[in-house]
Structure 1
Amino acid sequence: MTIHFNRVTSGARLSDQVAHQLAAEIAAGRLAAGAKLPPEARLVEQFEVSRTVVREAMSRLKSLGLVHSRQGSGVYVTAAPPYAPLNFDARHTASRAAVVQLAEVRRGLEAEAAAIAARRRAPADIERLQATVAALDRAVASGGDGVEQDLAFHRAIAQAAHNPFLIGTLDYLAQFMRGAIGVTRANEARRADFAAQVRREHAAVVTAIEAGDAAKARAAASRHMDNAIRRIEGADPAFWQQQGERLAGPLVQGPAS
């Protein structure tokens, strides 16, 4: 059976739109377990996107356990796994409430990650954390939004915890949190005092981890997320109007915090 896909449009990230259409065909059974997906060149033509977009969409589907690659053969729909892959409907994340809700999820995970990191950190972990803080400062100073550097900072904390399940969970959530971080950083960039607060909060987490104080690290990371929620909840209507285009698509444009 030949399946025809709709070309994607601007708004949500193109690779997410491609992945959503393919996932819908799999869920409906039109692409059954064991079925081979159309070749990359055909998907590029039907969706009217670049090869990079198609490859990003394939990576997304693989992370969900929906497809797998066979060397030299192509990409195939995976048979139903013995577990249900974690998945969120991205449409439910396109609101101010969702930005706060994602921060609430992060608060629990990242506070515990910071506490574990304080107990297990190695010198290389501290160097990595300090490097990510410096990279974030440079990005902001050069006029960037700092989203990727912010993500790298929080991932470095998880790496210092040396727990692959924790790292994997945060890596999965990162694709949903990029958009949310973009919103919070845009809000913080409007006020120098907000930007200064974020720098102090990051520094407090790093200092506690470096000192090996799990309780202080947990408290500092939790306080950072609590403050992020307060900052975003206090944003005025004009700010949210400016963010309308960002929130028009899902916040998966891809964990300021």
Structure 2
Amino acid sequence: MSEDSASAARRQATGALEQAIRPARNRSLGDEVYDALARLIGSGELGSGSRLPSEGELCRLFAVSRPVVRKALTQLREDGMIVSRKGAGSFVSARAAGGPRGLEDPEKQLGTMLQALEFRCSIEPDAAYYAAIRRGPRELAGIAAALDDFDRLEHEPARRRVDMAFHRSIAEAARNDHYARALDVIDYDIEIGITLARHLSQLGQEERRTAIFAEHRAIYLGIEAQDPAAAREAMLRHLEYSRVRVTARGEEILRRVRGGD
């Protein structure tokens, strides 16, 4: 798409927003912003791949504060309707047509998740390796903060976001922009994984959380000790265990979707 075409598409999306919404006033502001954007996405006014206006522009259009807009965008991300790309903004998900959705084509989604994990197994162990060599005090503190947040937070969607923040902080600590960009490439597939995970049984959730924290901590300790081999091995082991967990979860979902007990 040319720059002129992209600009025209953004102007069209902004025009649609201006026509579709009224300034949010005294009721639940975040819900009103969410509902208006969800309607535009569901109707196709904001089509697949469309870039949403900036947070500042959304604040102006809806006459609300930035925290209200951020709350609505967070909910849209959790519902799989939009994806956010670092430094680029928020975009309508490739599979968001029809508004908030439940589990669609679970077998295909499971395959997508497993492919994303396969890709991550090929890059993230090396990112951990170089993070152990190159990290400074600031990078190590960022990894530690994400690790602590994962252990502290009780809300499952928040933990999933912190999980990704932990992995991204390691990619950034490697001091090679390609590792962080590689995670951006599969950002949408990770969002699919969040949607898929939301449909899982709550049974065993605490056990899974404890296991994931222990795996994360092993990665952190390798990086803290500046032991690249240990960091690489811990990351690979974590991703392999994740693949086992995803497969088991996916099989549970497929069984339920197909009507099994």
TM-score, length-scaled by structure 1:
0.60
1:115 is matched with 129
Question: What's the counterpart of residue 188 of structure 2?
Answer: 175
Cα 1:236/1:56, change in 2 over 3 Å: closer
| CA pair 166-237 structure 1, distance change in 2 beyond 3 A | closer
Counterpart residue type for residue 248 of structure 2: G
Matching residue's letter, 2:138: A
> What is the Cα-based RMSD across aligned positions, in Å?
3.7
Residue 195 of structure 1 pairs with residue 209 of structure 2: yes
Match of 1:153 in 2: 166
How far is the alpha carbon of 1:39 from its aligned partner? 3.4
Q: Does 1:239 align with 2:209?
A: no
> Deviation at 1:170?
1.3
The equivalent position to 2:37 in structure 1, one of 42, 45, 50, is 50
CA drift at 1:94: 4.1
Per-residue deviation, 1:142: 4.3
Partner of 1:15: none
> Residue 134 in 1 paired to residue 121 in 2?
no
Per-residue CA deviation, residues 197-241 of structure 1 (Å, 9 max, x unaligned), is: 111100000000111111111111111010011112223754346
- Equivalent position SS for 1:146: helix
1:90 Cα deviation after fit = 5.1
**For the Cα contact (< 8 Å) 1:208–1:214, is it kept in 2?**
yes
Contact 2:109 2:192 in 1 (8 A): no
Output the CA distance in 2 between the equivalents of 1:131 and 1:243: 38
- Residue 127 of structure 1 deviates from its aligned partner by 0.8
How much has 1:98 moved relative to structure 2? 1.6
Contact 2:49/2:94 (8 A) holds in 1: no
State the distance in 2 between where 1:109 and 1:182 align: 24
Distance 1:49 1:125, change over 3 A: same
Instruction: Note the alpha carbon deviations across 1:40-84, whole angstroms, 9 max, x for none.
Output: 4433348995399769955489xxxxxxxxxxxxxxxxxxxxxxx
Does the 8 A contact of 1:114 with 1:157 survive in 2? yes
Alignment match of 2:12 (pick from 14, 39, 50): 39
CA deviation profile, 1:6-31 (whole Å, cap 9, x unmatched): xxxxxxxxxxxxxxxxxxxx5xxxxx
The alpha-carbon distance between structure 1 residues 50 and 186, as it changes in their structure 2 partners (threshold 3 A), is closer
Contact 1:189 / 1:195 at 8 angstroms: preserved in 2?
no
Q: Structure 2: give runs of 5+ residues left out of the alignment.
A: 22-34, 54-92, 96-104
- CA distance 1:41–1:160, shift in 2 (3 Å): closer
Give, as a single letter, the amino acid of the residue that structure 2 aligns with 1:130: A
CA contact (8 A) 2:218 2:234 kept: yes
| Count of residue pairs the alignment pairs up | 186
Unaligned runs of 5+ in 1: 1-25, 27-31, 62-88, 245-257
Q: Work out the percentage of aligned pairs sharing the same amino acid.
A: 24
User: How far apart, in 1, do the equivalents of 2:195 and 2:219 lie?
Assistant: 21
